[in-house]
Amino acid sequence: MKIALVHCPFDHQDFSENLRVVDEEFCHAPPIVLAYVAAVLEKAGHRVIIIEANALKLSKEQTLVRIKDFAPDLIGFRADTYWFHRVVEWATFLKQRLNVKVVVGGININLYPRESFAHGCFDYGITGEANDALPELIACLEQGASLESVKGLVYRSNGEVRVNSPSDRQIDFDEYPFPARHLLPNHLYSSFTSQRKNYTIVLTSTGCPFTCSFCAINRNHFRHRTVASVVDEIQQCYNDFGAREIDFFSPSFFSSRTFVSDFCREIVRRGIKIEWSCRSRVDQVDPEILHAAYAAGCRKIYYGIESVSTDVLVNIDKGVNVGQIRRAIEATREAKIATLGFFMVGNPGDTPESLLATIDFAKELELDYVQVCRTIAKPNTGLNDVMIAKTGQDHWRDYVLKCSAEKDFPNPWTKMSREELDMYVQKFYAAFYFRPAYILKRLIKSRSFEELFRYGHVGLRWWLAGVRKMR
């Protein structure tokens, strides 16, 4: 069978936790999940293309031309949380003009399968993982067989939406083939902080063993890939796709010390000259493991700091303290690894005083970068449970059902208004990035004209968007 996977363009949503410029400029990453799906399909013997309309800036009409040329039997989408209605829009447009069945996956299909299928553009949905279900679905379609046996499948039968029970098989991460990067425009990807090309992302684990109330990742099954599998993929990225910088998107790269130690040794043993960044909790690092990471090519670590307020850290179940934050950042700097701090504005317990103290704390830590977001209740999180309990309404369910996007979601855990929170996000960015000493440091540390241009372009957009008003 021939399958076209579409990664449609996404833009800023009014209810997003990020500023528009951050959503649009911070990271232009490959659609790694779609690339995994493509690899699964190719392994099953199917012909696949990925139409990267986001990176290539294709319109619906331009995408339609490419799909017509390929003449697929099936079109696939991933309907992530914020951009669900953009996927509905694109799937409706293509389905009406091609008369081709549409299959969709993503968190909204997992959490709200029937609500998602209230939109007539979807014919099949995959809840859970695609490794088994998607090849089984296609085999049934090719053979004209019943769909009742396909675990985790959502489909229509006699005018009704049916949701098959999910699979209880725990799939080993190493069972997945490497993402089908040969179907992607790898030269187009970058992040705000990336310094080398080509840039790509790699996953080392799924889920998270920790329980922060603002995060949905910890409600997914935690599993780790083997060192050999990860390093083999890096070798492929380096040799076949010209990757020279890799960003590990797993939420807590250092959660297994054994994995990290073995990983670093293997990178050094193979002589892979690649730079990489990762995400970590502050309580998972120490000088020894950081120096090993630097020797293996680690040049940047993104730390979830969130706040300097002890009350806030307790309220969001972060499980760390300010002393651990200070020690981790200092040790990382001594290991010559750059640091980015993730911060959140509007957490349970936040006050204007705690936010101003957090801004000062970020500057005091001498971080290389910050990313600041407004705290929102993402679906399938502890904060979302609070929002439902306090408002008596499942706002994400309603969002999936509606044909138009929400303007905002309530945040009943704080008395601060949306306008106040947005102001503090802007103020945070202005106070951190628009310091003469910081700007000079970034100029000195920049390694290419492209990097300087990126900083200047994003900085100008921030300034024009209103940061200048918050200084």
Tens digits of residue pLDDT in 349-368: 999 999 999 999 999 999 99
Q: Report the chain's mean pLDDT, rounded to a whole number.
A: 91
At 59 the pLDDT is 97
Co-location of 194 and 137 in the same domain:
no
Write out the DSSP string of 415-427: -S-HHHHHHHHHH
Co-location of 319 and 248 in the same domain:
yes
Co-location of 111 and 255 in the same domain:
no
| Mean pLDDT for the stretch of residues 80-105 | 93
174 within some domain: no
Cβ atoms of residues 414 and 424 within 8 Å: no
Co-location of 194 and 156 in the same domain:
no
Co-location of 157 and 265 in the same domain:
no
Query: pLDDT, tens digit, for every residue of 147-156?
Result: 999 999 999 9
Q: What is the number of structural domains in the chain?
A: 2
Of residues 467 and 214, more confidence is placed in 214
By the 10 Å C-beta count (0-12 exposed, 13-18 middle, 19+ buried), 206 is classed as middle
256 within some domain: yes
- Closest Cα to residue 221, out of 264, 177, 166? 166
Q: How far apart are CA 359 and CA 355, in angstroms?
A: 6
Least confident of 89-93, 403-407, 434-438, 455-459: 403-407
Which CATH number fits the domain that encloses residue 294? 3.20.20.70
Query: pLDDT, tens digit, for every residue of 365-408?
Result: 999 999 999 999 999 999 999 999 999 999 999 999 986 555 68
At 465 the pLDDT is 64
Co-location of 228 and 331 in the same domain:
yes
Co-location of 90 and 19 in the same domain:
yes
86 within some domain: yes
The beta-strand segments (E) located in 89-167 are 101-105, 124-126, 153-157, 160-163
Domain that holds residue 332: 185-375+414-470
At 16 the pLDDT is 84
What token pair was written down for 233?
């993929």
408 within some domain: no
Q: Is the confidence at residue 437, as pLDDT, over 90?
A: no
Last residue of a domain, one of 163, 195, 218: 163
Last residue of a domain, one of 102, 129, 163: 163
100 within some domain: yes
What token pair was written down for 245?
């910088």
Co-location of 129 and 222 in the same domain:
no
Q: How far apart are CA 202 and CA 219, in angstroms?
A: 21
Of residues 219 and 45, more confidence is placed in 45
Co-location of 13 and 127 in the same domain:
yes
What token pair was written down for 77?
């989408």
203 within some domain: yes
Least confident of 58-67, 259-268, 381-390, 434-443: 434-443
396 within some domain: no
Co-location of 267 and 133 in the same domain:
no
Q: Is the confidence at residue 468, as pLDDT, over 60?
A: no
Cβ atoms of residues 345 and 421 within 8 Å: yes
Last residue of a domain, one of 163, 197, 218: 163
User: Which amino acid, residue 2?
Assistant: K
At 459 the pLDDT is 67
| Mean pLDDT for the stretch of residues 333-342 | 97
With H, G, I as helix, E, B as strand and everything else as coil, classify residue 155: strand
Co-location of 21 and 158 in the same domain:
yes
What pairs with residue 369 in β-bridges?
340
At 443 the pLDDT is 79
Least confident of 86-90, 164-168, 253-257: 164-168
Query: pLDDT, tens digit, for every residue of 59-78?
Result: 999 999 999 999 999 999 99
User: Which amino acid, residue 161?
Assistant: V
At 467 the pLDDT is 54
At 167 the pLDDT is 85
Q: How far apart are CA 285 and CA 330, in angstroms?
A: 11
At 471 the pLDDT is 47
168 within some domain: no
Least confident of 8-22, 43-57, 295-309, 367-381: 8-22
Co-location of 112 and 61 in the same domain:
yes
Which CATH number fits the domain that encloses residue 95? 3.40.50.280
Whether the CA torsion 397, 400, 401, 406 is positive or negative: it is positive
Please tell me the pTM assigned to this model: 0.93
Of residues 169 and 335, more confidence is placed in 335
